[in-house]
């Protein structure tokens, strides 16, 4: 049976962040993920998790200046020192929250820099992050994010390219974060994509398309994909990273089914 985690940056936004843990637990979630937990003291986040009896299954490394439009640092030449600092900050949170999966955002493609330099920077940064996070038994995930709708200019938007990068990085604790919504927007053919990359998948996320709302609201036939993942023996978490059409609870009718 698949394990579903609530993404608290997307779900239960009707209430302040600290209250979302209890709301998630109340409807049956046992795991949660978060984009960036760094706005809250790590001990407070740990207490919210403990009180709700939840597992923190994923969060992102610091992405640079998010408010200014940055979407990660990993591919950006000249920002390596900042990337290194971001890894150390994430390591503190991962250790305290007992979280063993951290997503490393690639960043937006900067103008005027050769593609080979971006790729070399990315590979070196991912190796560094993997080598630091393996000290606590954590896996670093890389996620192709669609550049058509949600994140124009995002450097890593292709799943096949992500596979080649994983080969080049060459670390056992770096894996693929497969968001089926982003994959549908960029490529489609989701069942074959899952099967082709199954051995690399460290984490899965879901939302329907169009609109990035809950499963059952769009064109993706999630019952078939869930059955496929179960049949393939997927034992990881499935993160619910979608924007509810109305309230979170009202949009959870797909989950019992």
What percent of the chain has a predicted confidence (pLDDT) above 90?
99
* Structural Rg of the chain based on CA atoms: 17
- pLDDT in the model for residue 54: 98
pLDDT digits (tens, 9 = 90+) for 56-105: 999 999 999 999 999 999 999 999 999 999 999 999 999 999 999 999 99
- pLDDT in the model for residue 79: 97
Residue 85: active-site member: no
CB 187 within 8 A of CB 196: no
pLDDT digits (tens, 9 = 90+) for 215-245: 999 999 999 999 999 999 999 999 999 999 9
CB 248 within 8 A of CB 12: yes
Residue 88: active-site member: no
Residue 154 in this model has a pLDDT that exceeds 90: yes
Got the DSSP string for the chain?
Answer: --EEEEETTTSSTTS-HHHHHHHHHHTT--EEEES--TTS-HHHHHHHHHHHT-EEEEEEPP-S-GGGT--BSTT-TT-HHHHHHHHHHHHHHHHHHT--EEE--B-BPPTTS-HHHHHHHHHHHHHHHHHHHGGGT-EEEE----TTTTSTTBS---HHHHHHHHHHH--TTEEEEEEHHHHHHHT--HHHHHHHHGGGEEEEEE--TTTS--TTSSS--HHHHHHHHHHHT--SEEEE----SS-TGGG-TTTT-
- pLDDT in the model for residue 240: 98
- pLDDT in the model for residue 256: 84
| Residue 36, phi then psi, degrees to nearest 5 | -140, 110
| Residue 182, phi then psi, degrees to nearest 5 | -60, -40
- pLDDT in the model for residue 1: 86
Tokens at residue 72, please? 């990660």
pLDDT digits (tens, 9 = 90+) for 16-69: 999 999 999 999 999 999 999 999 999 999 999 999 999 999 999 999 999 999
Catalytic hit among 143, 219, 227, 249: 143
pLDDT digits (tens, 9 = 90+) for 179-210: 999 999 999 999 999 999 999 999 999 999 99
- pLDDT in the model for residue 32: 98
CA atoms of 43 and 174, how far apart (whole Å):
27
- pLDDT in the model for residue 194: 98
- pLDDT in the model for residue 257: 75
Catalytic hit among 33, 55, 214, 241: 241
Q: How far is CA 23 from CA 15, 16, 30, 51, 97, in A?
A: 9, 11, 11, 12, 19
Average pLDDT score over residue span 111-127: 98
pLDDT digits (tens, 9 = 90+) for 123-134: 999 999 999 999
């Amino acid at each position: 049976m698949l394990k579903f985690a609530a993404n608290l940056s997307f779900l239960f936004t009707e209430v302040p962040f600290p209250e979302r843990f209890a709301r998630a637990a109340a409807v049956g979630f046992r795991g949660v993920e978060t984009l960036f937990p760094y706005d809250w003291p790590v001990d407070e986040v740990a207490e919210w998790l403990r009180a709700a009896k939840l597992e923190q299954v994923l969060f992102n490394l610091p992405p640079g200046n998010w408010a200014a439009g940055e979407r990660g640092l990993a591919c950006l030449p000249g920002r390596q020192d900042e990337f290194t600092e971001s890894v150390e900050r994430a390591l503190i949170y991962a250790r305290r929250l007992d979280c063993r999966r951290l997503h490393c955002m690639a960043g937006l493609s900067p103008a005027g820099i050769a593609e080979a330099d971006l790729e070399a920077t990315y590979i070196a940064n991912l190796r560094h992050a993997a080598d630091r996070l393996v000290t606590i038994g954590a896996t670093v995930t890389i996620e192709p994010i669609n550049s058509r709708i949600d994140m124009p200019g995002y450097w890593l938007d292709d799943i096949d390219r992500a596979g080649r990068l994983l080969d080049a990085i060459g670390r056992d604790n770096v894996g693929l974060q497969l968001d089926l919504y982003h994959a549908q927007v960029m490529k489609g053919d989701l069942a074959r994509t899952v099967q082709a990359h199954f051995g690399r998948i460290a984490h899965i996320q879901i939302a329907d398309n169009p609109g990035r709302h809950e499963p059952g609201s769009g064109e993706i036939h999630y019952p078939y994909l869930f059955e496929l993942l179960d049949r393939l023996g997927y034992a990881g978490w499935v993160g619910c990273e979608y924007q509810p059409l109305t309230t979170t609870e009202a949009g959870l009718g797909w989950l019992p089914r």
